[in-house]
Structure formats: C-alpha cells, structure tokens
Amino acid sequence: MHECSLREAIFDKVQTYSFGNIDKFSTAGLVTRMTTDVTNIQNAALMLLRIAVRTPVMLVSSLVMFLSISTALSPVIIVAAVFLAIAFTLIVSNATRTFNRVFDTYDDLNASVQENVGAIRVVKAFAREVYEKERFRAAAEKLYKLFVKAEGIVALNTPS
C-alpha cells in the first residue's frame, strides 16, 4: 500500500468515528497518527525486511565459517549470542519507552501549533506572541531532546 493510500485510509477511518470516539482523541493526536505514525510504519517495515532477510543469512553463514575454522571455539559464539540477545532486549525496551514519550510530545507540539493557528487573532489581540513562541520553542526543544535520547539508545545497537 502506498503511503498516500495509507494516510487516506486513516483519514477515511477517522471520518467514520462517532462523536463519542472522536472526543476520546485529541486533534493533535489524530494529526500525529496520520503523519508521524505512517512514516514510522514505513520505517518499521523496512527495518523488518532488513532484520528478517539479512540477519538470518549473516548468522547462518557466520556460524558455518566459524565452525569450519574451529569447533573448539564454538562456546564463544554461544556466549556472544546470549550477550547480543540481552543487549538487544534492553535496547528495544528502552527505545520503545522513549519513543512512546516522543509521540506524546509530538501530540503536545501539534496541539500548540493547532491552537496558535486557530486562535491567531486572539493571540495577536492580547499580545501573547512572545509567550506562544516561547511555549512552542519549549515544546520543540523537549521533542528534540527526547528524539536525541531515543536515537542514542537505538544507536547502541550497532556497537553491541
């Protein structure tokens, strides 16, 4: 399915929600789901393909070569595999928690933008532009720091 079709399908689905269901979701949350989440689904699908195809081939070929060189050192591969499994589990669990906070922060940032665009005349009438700019800057900075933290956690996967 093409990304535009996926976003369109999400939009069509949201249009079928009852008013009770719509009240459960913030507009900013729905906007985040239609933009960021579609991109994340695409990235997850690409990563899954890489992991599902490349990793097993590399694992099997490295095991064959390792065992052909020295069967006496095979316990080393078992220890390494256990270490990698533990490291990967810790990285994924920490990254998942951090990315969940990132998505909540996205919702806050989208809410701030939506409020400012929807009430631009009120903001200007009460001379609140400086306050709103600072509020947006703080939300964007929080999002930036969370993203750097999340990507830093994911980057630990490469050295391990």
33 and 53 housed in the same domain: yes
SS3 85: helix
Residue 29 has pLDDT above 80, yes or no: no
Residue where one domain finishes, among candidates 14, 49, 69? 69
Residue 88 has pLDDT above 70, yes or no: yes
74 and 53 housed in the same domain: no
pLDDT band at 18 (very low <50, low <70, confident <90, very high): confident
Burial of 106 (0-12, 13-18, 19+ CB in 10 A): buried
65 and 84 housed in the same domain: no
Q: Which amino acid would we find at residue 40? A: N
SS3 43: helix
CA dist 43 to 3, 21, 53, 104, 107, Å?
Answer: 11, 28, 15, 19, 20
Number of domains in the chain: 2
Residue where one domain finishes, among candidates 69, 86, 101? 69
Residue where one domain finishes, among candidates 40, 69, 98? 69
Contacts of residue 5, Cβ cutoff 8 Å, sequence gap at least 6: none
The span from the CA of 93 to the CA of 153, in Å, is: 10
145 and 100 housed in the same domain: yes
What is the per-residue pLDDT for 3? Answer: 52
What is the per-residue pLDDT for 14? Answer: 79
79 and 58 housed in the same domain: no
What is the per-residue pLDDT for 123? Answer: 64
Per-residue pLDDT tens digits for 95-106: 888 888 888 888
Residue span of the structural domain in which 61 resides: 1-69
83 and 149 housed in the same domain: yes
77 and 41 housed in the same domain: no
133 and 153 housed in the same domain: yes
